[in-house]
Amino acid sequence: MSIVVTGATGQLGRLVVDRLLAEVPADRVAAVVRDADKAAAIAARGVELRVADYNAPASLKDAFRAGDVVLLISGSEVGQRTAQHTAVIEAAKEAGVARLVYTGVLGGPAADFRLAEEHQATERVLLDSGLTYTLLRNGWYTENYTAQIPVQLEHGVVGSAGEGRIGSATREDYAAAAAAVLTGEGHENAVYELSGDHAWTMAEYAAELARQSGRPVAYTDLPADAFLAVLTGAGLPEPVASIYVDVDVAGTSRGLLEGGGGDLARLIGRPTTPLAATIAAALKG
């Protein structure tokens, strides 16, 4: 039996593999990757590589073994993820895996904004499959915001989130939670709503960035159409930009990304990483 991490060369997947290797022997870990060459550093640590692609269902037949515990990290190709995730779930069921852990979205069925739709569809497929499961409904990554700091320092922070609060945490926090449920006991058919300990508004984010950087940074709340224009003007395709706008308008501003249940801190056995610490790390580069 192996602990199998899909998308193992991605930003979250790499961190999960790191956490697992701190807890279990490398020969108990397998990494599903699209390109073995790009995963050479993982293989060098003694992790078994299994080459497969979410978009090629036939390749997934050799990705899993009977008794494996599998982490399905959600894909990044919006519009294709339901089919991709379904292919993984079907291959895992055919192989006879012991449990499938899925990284969904905070709120699950209650998250009625467009970006959540494929996560909700995946959860339905997983529940209907009859597999033993664990649902990790991840909130937002703080890095989604701090990755934009160079632009924010130059042009300020913009959005359509109003005074909605965001219970974000770092990728490292979410990776630690994934490793905990992959290696621990008592997580069968469990659902965890994962968010940071302290939610913040976009205005508070801008104020903290200004404080730490010593530069004037303010948050400007825009009507949806104006925010869409900013994003498309920055080069985002309109379909992608409209989804980001919808997250702010239909999700953040309505409190759907606030979280606050404490599941994440309980799973990782420590407080989640504060916003100020993540901003500080990003400013240091």
Question: Using one digit for the tens of pLDDT, what is the confidence trace for 59-70?
Answer: 999 999 999 999
Provide, rounded to the nearest whole percent, the portion of the chain with pLDDT above 90. Answer: 98
Q: Which two tokens stand for residue 217?
A: 């940074």
Q: What is the biggest distance separating any 2 CA atoms in the chain, rounded to whole angstroms?
A: 56
- DSSP letters, 125-155, are HHHHHT--EEEEEE--BTHHHHTTHHHHHHH
Residues of the chain with CATH 3.40.50.720: 3-138
221 within 8 A of 160, measured Cβ to Cβ: yes
Question: Using one digit for the tens of pLDDT, what is the confidence trace for 250-266?
Answer: 999 999 999 999 999 99
Residue 161: pLDDT band (50, 70, 90) is: very high
Q: In whole angstroms, what is the distance from residue 94 CA to residue 249 CA?
A: 40
Q: Does the structure show a pLDDT above 90 at 79?
A: no
Residue 1: pLDDT band (50, 70, 90) is: confident
Q: What is the pLDDT of residue 266?
A: 98
129 within 8 A of 93, measured Cβ to Cβ: yes
Q: What is the pLDDT of residue 206?
A: 98
Question: Using one digit for the tens of pLDDT, what is the confidence trace for 2-37?
Answer: 999 999 999 999 999 999 999 999 999 999 999 999
Question: Using one digit for the tens of pLDDT, what is the confidence trace for 80-139?
Answer: 999 999 999 999 999 999 999 999 999 999 999 999 999 999 999 999 999 999 999 999
89 within 8 A of 129, measured Cβ to Cβ: yes
Q: What is the pLDDT of residue 76?
A: 84
41 within 8 A of 9, measured Cβ to Cβ: no
| Architecture of the domain made up of 140-169+195-259+273-285 | Alpha-Beta Complex (3.90)
267 within 8 A of 176, measured Cβ to Cβ: yes
Residue with tokens 């990776």: 175
Q: Does the structure show a pLDDT above 90 at 171?
A: yes
Residue 41: pLDDT band (50, 70, 90) is: very high
Q: What is the pLDDT of residue 268?
A: 98
> Which of 135-157 are b and which e, b meaning 16 or more Cβ less than 10 Å from the residue's Cβ?
bbbbbbbbbebbeebeebbeeeb
| pTM for this entry | 0.96
| Tally of CB atoms within 10 A around 273 | 20
Q: What is the pLDDT of residue 78?
A: 87
Q: Does the structure show a pLDDT above 90 at 218?
A: yes
H or E stretch including 224? helix 224-233
Supply the mean pLDDT for the chain.
Answer: 97
In the CATH hierarchy, which top-level class contains the domain 3-138? alpha beta
- DSSP letters, 153-184, are HHH-EEES-TT--B--B-HHHHHHHHHHHHHS
Q: Does the structure show a pLDDT above 90 at 271?
A: yes
Residues of the chain with CATH 3.90.25.10: 140-169+195-259+273-285
Residue 285: pLDDT band (50, 70, 90) is: confident
- Nearby residues of 225 by Cβ (< 8 Å), 6 or more positions away: none
